[in-house]
Structures are given as structure tokens and as C-alpha cells.
């Protein structure tokens, strides 16, 4: 089981709602990404979370109180699309 610190931001209407750090836990990049999106969805009440894209960050959209929110996170010090390459 791997653990990696991730930095995250949560935005609504391009306004920052919350930012912070969370531990990602899993045996693969996919598992760690799923873990973080599930944990943050639960913590902030994000419904219908959906993966959108990955570049420097993993990017998800979801709903809080019927309003669209954007969740982005990435490993500290590594672009998300490079995380796990070479492992």
C-alpha cells in the first residue's frame, strides 16, 4: 500500500471554496486517485463526481447544492500526468 500527499483545490464559479492537503492511499495511481476523489466528495458533500481530465492536476466535476463544482488535485511536487511513471 502506497501513501502520497496530494494538494487539492475545490472551486465553484471559478471562486476558491477550499484548498488543502490530503493523503492518497492505494496500490496504484488509479486506486490513489479514486481514494482521494471519494474522500473529498464525502468530506465536502460533492454529488455525481465525474472525472474530466488529467494534465498537471486530476480534474473532476460534481455538484454541491445543485451547483457545479470543480475539484483538482495532484501529488505535491509532481504533475499528475507524470505521477507513477517509471515506478
Which mean pLDDT values do the consecutive 10-residue runs of the chain (87 residues) have?
Answer: 95 96 95 96 97 95 97 93 72
Give the pLDDT confidence score for residue 85 in this predicted structure: 63
Give the pLDDT confidence score for residue 83 in this predicted structure: 86
CA distances from 32 to 41, 61, 73, 76 (A): 14, 18, 11, 14
Residue in 60, 23, 9, 75 with CA at minimum distance from that of residue 84: 75
For the entire predicted model, the pTM comes to 0.89
Amino acid at each position: 500500500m502506497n501513501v502520497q500527499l496530494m494538494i487539492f483545490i475545490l472551486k465553484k464559479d471559478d471562486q476558491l471554496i477550499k484548498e488543502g492537503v490530503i493523503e492518497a492511499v492505494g496500490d496504484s495511481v488509479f486506486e490513489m486517485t479514486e481514494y482521494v476523489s471519494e474522500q473529498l466528495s464525502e468530506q465536502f458533500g460533492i454529488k455525481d463526481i465525474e472525472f474530466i481530465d488529467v494534465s498537471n492536476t486530476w480534474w473532476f466535476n460534481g455538484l454541491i447544492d445543485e451547483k457545479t463544482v470543480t475539484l483538482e488535485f495532484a501529488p505535491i511536487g509532481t504533475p499528475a500526468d507524470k505521477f507513477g511513471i517509471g515506478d
